[in-house]
């Protein structure tokens, strides 16, 4: 992890929010088998998509330039969605998996749309 913060993490954070929102909504929606009412659970996650779609091509560059402060910010984003008591190392692991999920999901949706 670098200390330069040359590129920032705006798009990275948006991909993470999309990944966390979609993942959390899917867990809730599928907990008792998918029901029509589960669409209302999924809708807020889908609303985070447009921001994530817009800058997804910048995510790999931002990942390569992470500073410790930016990692701390991503850990905070994970804790906002999954609970403040989440241990730091687990939150870091979830942050990176969430970004990967968000990145792949957005790339898939962009490919389907084009």
Burial class (CB in 10 A: 0-12, 13-18, 19+), 73: middle
pLDDT at res. 5: 55
Ranges of each domain in the chain: 10-113
The yes-or-no verdict on residue 79 having pLDDT over 60 is yes
pLDDT > 70 in the chain, percent: 94
Residue 1 has a pLDDT of 46
What is the signed CA dihedral for 103, 104, 107, 108, rounded to 10 degrees? -150
The gap from C-alpha 33 to its chain's centroid, in whole angstroms, comes to: 24
- Cβ(59)–Cβ(11) under 8 Å? yes
Residue 86, pLDDT above cutoff 60: yes
């Amino acid at each position: 992890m670098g200390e330069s913060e040359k590129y920032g993490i705006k798009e990275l954070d948006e991909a993470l929010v999309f990944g966390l929102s979609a993942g959390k909504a899917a867990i809730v929606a599928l907990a008792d088998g998918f029901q029509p009412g589960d669409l209302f659970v999924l809708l807020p996650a889908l609303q985070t998509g447009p921001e994530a779609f817009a800058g997804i091509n910048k995510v790999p560059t931002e990942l390569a330039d992470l500073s410790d402060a930016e990692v701390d910010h991503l850990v905070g984003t994970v804790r906002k969605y999954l609970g403040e008591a989440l241990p730091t190392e687990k939150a870091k692991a979830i942050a990176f998996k969430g970004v990967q999920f968000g990145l792949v999901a957005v790339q898939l949706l962009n490919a389907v749309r084009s």
